[in-house]
Amino acid sequence: MDNSRPNPTGKLAALSRQRLGDQIADALRNQILLGELQPGSNIPERETASALGVSRTPLREALVILEGEGLVSMSPARSPRVSNPSLENLTHLLYVQSALEALAGECACDQMTEQEFKHIEGLNLTLQAMSENADPIDFFTADMAFHEAIVAATKNAPLIKTHKQYNARLWRVRFMSSRKRIKRVSTLDDHSEIVEGLRTRNKQKTSAVLSRHLRTAIDNITSIFDEENQAN
Partner DNA sequence: CATTATTATTTTGTATACCAAATAATAAAT
Partner DNA sequence: ATTTATTATTTGGTATACAAAATAATAATG
Task: Decide: is 215 part of the binding site for DNA (CB under 7 A).
Answer: no
| Beta-strand pair 72-73/81-82 | antiparallel
Q: Which residues contact 8 (CB under 8 A, 6 or more apart)?
A: none
182 binds, among DNA, a second copy, none (CB under 5 to 8 A by kind): none
Task: Decide: is 54 part of the binding site for DNA (CB under 7 A).
Answer: yes
Asked if 84 and 40 count as a contact pair (C-beta separation under 8 A), the reply is yes
Give Cα 14 to chain centroid, integer Å.
32
Asked if 109 and 103 count as a contact pair (C-beta separation under 8 A), the reply is no
Give the one residue of 21, 85, 105, 197 binding DNA; rule: CB under 7 A: 21
45 binds, among DNA, a second copy, none (CB under 5 to 8 A by kind): DNA
Closer to a second copy by Cβ: residue 169 or 205: 169
CB of 183 to a second copy, least distance (A): 24
Task: Decide: is 44 part of the binding site for DNA (CB under 7 A).
Answer: yes
Strands, E assignment, the chain = 72-73, 81-82
Task: Decide: is 157 part of the binding site for DNA (CB under 7 A).
Answer: no
65 binds, among DNA, a second copy, none (CB under 5 to 8 A by kind): a second copy
Can you tell me whether residue 224 is helix, strand or coil?
helix
Alpha helices (H) along 53-86: 56-68
DSSP 182: G
Task: Decide: is 57 part of the binding site for DNA (CB under 7 A).
Answer: yes
Give the one residue of 14, 157, 182, 231 binding DNA; rule: CB under 7 A: 14
| Cα–Cα separations (whole angstroms), residue 77 to 45, 80, 81, 232 | 11, 9, 12, 31
Closer to DNA by Cβ: residue 79 or 131: 79
Closer to a second copy by Cβ: residue 18 or 229: 18
Specify which residues 73 forms β-bridges with: 81
Residues of this chain that interact with DNA (CB under 7 A) are 12, 14-16, 19-21, 42-47, 54-58, 60-61, 74, 76-80
